[in-house]
Amino acid sequence: MPLHGVDQCSICQCDLNSSKFEEVTTKCGHIFHYECAKKRIDRYQKSDCQVCRRPRALGDALEEYNRRKTQTSSGQSFNPVHMPDF
């Protein structure tokens, strides 16, 4: 279930609203700093959601983020935050 009004990255516990870091949102609706999610996957080899443990949620969110970022470099518009599927 998506979390509304969340103001902290669930990995580093730092404020999302005043952060200079880009965010990713998993399909389960949890929000993380992109760098925190990437470091967690790289360091621990875990791509499940840090909050609800949905399998591959972080990995999928990063893949979607990178796909959209690649589209931007080819001249298409980019929205850095992935909105969850409802």
Domain boundaries, given as residue ranges, for the chain: 1-70
Kindly tell me the burial class for residue 12, based on how many C-beta atoms sit within 10 Å of its own C-beta (0-12, 13-18, 19 or more).
middle
Regarding predicted confidence, which is higher, 15 or 80? 15
Question: What pLDDT is recorded for position 76?
Answer: 58
Contact 35, 11 (CB under 8 A): no
Q: What letter represents residue 51's amino acid?
A: V
**Confidence grade of residue 69 (pLDDT, cut at 50, 70, 90):** confident
Please give the share of the chain, as a percent, with pLDDT higher than 70: 76
On whether the pTM is more than 0.85, the answer is no
pLDDT in tens, 29-44: 999 999 999 999 999 9
Q: What is the CATH number of domain 1-70?
A: 3.30.40.10
Planar angle of CA 82, 41, 53, nearest 5 degrees: 70
Can you say how many angstroms the Cα of residue 37 is from the centroid of all Cα atoms in its chain? 6
